[in-house]
């Protein structure tokens, strides 16, 4: 099956304050972010034309840019309005939404204080990350070849483009060997996350998840924790060593793109797609389609 390139599609993209034709949303080869990985971005999903937890994503985008040393020239409210315009212009319904900020081409070199800060927002149809067959039996993960860095070596509290290079390398390595993703350890050798999603372990009916002290405390992660507690499921955030997978019954990943994805294998460890995983996946897919409860959520 041939892929449709992302630079050659119909539709519109919100670019620096206005909607422009999709194919016109172009950058110069000497754009600073392309060379120095200074992009701050968000991955979001719209369900039925409404972006789930949209404001939280917009606020995190601002925070990521701040951590990377620049200020986005659009307020959270302006970003919220822009996302709504994009979703409507792209037909509403179920869409993936990508907002990204970056330094432009005014300066080339490590220092770029005078570079203009740009913002773009695109939306397109993107169904479930994995096929129904894979979701039924759980995806397979290989151990990643890179580890999540220490907070004193990288801006780990930001959703920054540069932090995802090791994820791309690890995921490509896993896919070459027939796996769907890779499980990353952190700099201490503890469980961290997959290449683009947080991880949960079910141990004797309880949920255990790594403490997000060197990777993002994902918005989907926070949602699933809330849903679990509503079900009276105990949630424990703590340091988890890889060998604990040997006493784990279920594993699942959570993220905007992944939603709630069952895991059938990590390296040498295998798991069942059990009742806790199925219940929380069902609860999450209901939650994202709940009507907005306030004007701010629109």
Positions marked active-site: 159
Q: What's the length of the chain?
A: 298
Token pair 């989907």: residue: 220
CA distance 269 to 288: 31
Buried b (16+ CB within 10 A) or exposed e, 199-217: bbbbeeeebbbbebbbbbe
Nearest by Cα to 67 from 187, 151, 166: 151
Contacts of residue 153, defined as CB under 8 A and 6 or more positions apart, other chains included, come to: 187
**118 DSSP β-pair partners:** 102
Instruction: Answer yes or no: are the C-beta atoms of 288 and 226 closer than 8 Å.
Output: no
Instruction: Calculate ∠ Cα 238-241-245, nearest 5°.
Output: 105
Crossing angle of helices 54-67/219-230, nearest 10°?
Answer: 140
């Amino acid at each position: 099956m041939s892929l449709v390139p992302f630079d050659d599609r119909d539709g519109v993209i919100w670019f620096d304050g206005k909607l422009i034709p999709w194919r016109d949303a172009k950058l110069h080869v000497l754009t600073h972010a392309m060379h120095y990985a200074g992009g701050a971005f968000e991955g979001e999903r719209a369900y039925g034309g409404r972006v789930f937890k949209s404001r939280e994503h917009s606020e995190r985008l601002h925070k990521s840019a701040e951590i990377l040393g620049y200020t986005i020239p659009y307020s959270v409210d302006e970003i919220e309005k822009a996302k709504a315009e994009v979703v409507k212009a792209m037909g509403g319904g179920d869409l993936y939404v990508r907002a990204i900020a970056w330094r432009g081409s005014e300066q080339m070199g490590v220092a770029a204080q005078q570079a203009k800060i740009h913002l773009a927002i695109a939306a397109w149809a993107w169904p479930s990350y994995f096929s129904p067959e894979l979701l039924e039996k759980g995806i397979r993960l290989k151990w990643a070849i890179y580890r999540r860095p220490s907070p004193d070596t990288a801006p780990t509290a930001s959703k920054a483009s540069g932090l995802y290079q090791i994820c791309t390398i690890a995921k490509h390595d896993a896919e070459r060997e027939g796996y769907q993703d890779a499980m990353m350890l952190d700099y201490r050798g503890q469980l961290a996350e997959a290449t683009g999603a947080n991880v949960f372990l079910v141990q004797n009916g309880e949920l255990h998840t790594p403490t997000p002290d060197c990777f993002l405390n994902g918005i989907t992660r926070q949602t699933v924790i809330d849903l679990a507690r509503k079900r009276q499921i105990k949630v424990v955030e703590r340091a988890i060593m890889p060998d604990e997978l040997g006493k784990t019954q279920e594993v699942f990943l959570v993220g905007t793109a992944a939603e709630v994805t069952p895991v059938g294998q990590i390296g040498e460890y295998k798991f069942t797609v059990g009742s806790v995983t199925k219940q929380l996946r069902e609860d999450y897919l209901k939650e994202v389609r709940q009507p907005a409860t306030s004007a701010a959520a629109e």
